[in-house]
Amino acid sequence: MQVSIDASLHDQLPGFSLGVIRYAGVTLSDSPKMLQGRINLFVETLRLERELSQISEIEGIREWRAMFKKLGIDPSRYRPSSEALTRRLLQGNPFFWINSGVDVNNFLSVLHTLPYGLYDADKLSGDIVCRLGKENDHYEGLNGRDVNMEGKLLLADAQGAFGSPIVDSTRSSVTPAATSLVQIIFFHGQLSVSQREEIAGSTARMFTEINGGEAVDVSLVQA
């Protein structure tokens, strides 16, 4: 399984890249109390340090909103997933616990203010390409809606679109039965290569510390 970025995005999104991490032999369950405590403490600190009214000026969220605008996507209507998660927490809503894999993924997305995707590799087929959506690109989203992805940044495999920095599909969703995973970090162009490598490396370390298994590949894919 190869991951690539469509060449058409090179000029539209200068510096855009993906962090790609492949995991094997993971064991997912309810998040351990240690992780829940760490995340809850982080959420409390976030609420003390950030105001909802200033969310669009948070580093990472600001850059991704700008990237959406470059693509002609209204970031107030279709929010980057990292902003949607952060906004939900700053509104006073609790962290939404799903399983230890998804919970770590969502925590890191808010921590780094970057869209993160986590996918069951056994539900995907062929290579993965990041591109803009076409007329027939749509899927059932994890938000329970049929999502029209035309003109939006997405991930597609041989079966079609399955994920995006906005909302992912139910087709590639991660349940506790999953053992092989693909994690995608959507990096904006303002981060240096060393920063991206550090984030990808620390992501892989934390994920395997919580969920076991091993990160069999950690790489950056450039536009």
Instruction: List, for residues 95-144, the tens digit of each pLDDT value.
Output: 999 999 999 999 999 999 999 999 999 999 999 999 999 999 999 999 88
Mean pLDDT score across all residues of the chain: 96
22: Cβ contacts below 8 Å, ≥ 6 apart: 1, 121, 180, 181, 182, 183, 215, 216, 217
Instruction: Average the pLDDT over 169-182 and give the result.
Output: 97
Confidence of residue 87 (pLDDT cuts 50, 70, 90): very high
* Correct CATH for 3-222 of 3.50.40.10, 3.40.190.10, 3.40.50.150, 3.30.70.560: 3.50.40.10
Of 195, 172, 174, 176, nearest to 185 (Cα)? Answer: 195
Residue-level pLDDT at 98: 97
Going from the C-alpha of 20 to that of each of 16, 58, 74, 120, the distances in angstroms are: 13, 24, 26, 13
Residue-level pLDDT at 168: 97
Out of 50-59, 100-109, 184-193, least confident range: 50-59
Residue-level pLDDT at 34: 95
147-171 burial: b if 16+ Cβ within 10 Å, else e: bebeebbbbbbeeebbbbbbbbbeb
Question: Counting beta carbons within 10 angstroms of the beta carbon of residue 92, is it exposed (0 to 12), middle (13 to 18) or buried (19 or more)?
Answer: exposed
Of 8, 7, 14, nearest to 190 (Cα)? Answer: 14
Confidence of residue 1 (pLDDT cuts 50, 70, 90): confident
Residue-level pLDDT at 22: 98
Instruction: Average the pLDDT over 35-49 and give the result.
Output: 95
Which residues on neighbouring strands pair with residue 25, listed in sequence order? none
Residue-level pLDDT at 11: 87
Listed in sequence order, the DSSP H helices in 81-192 are 81-90, 100-112
Residue-level pLDDT at 164: 97
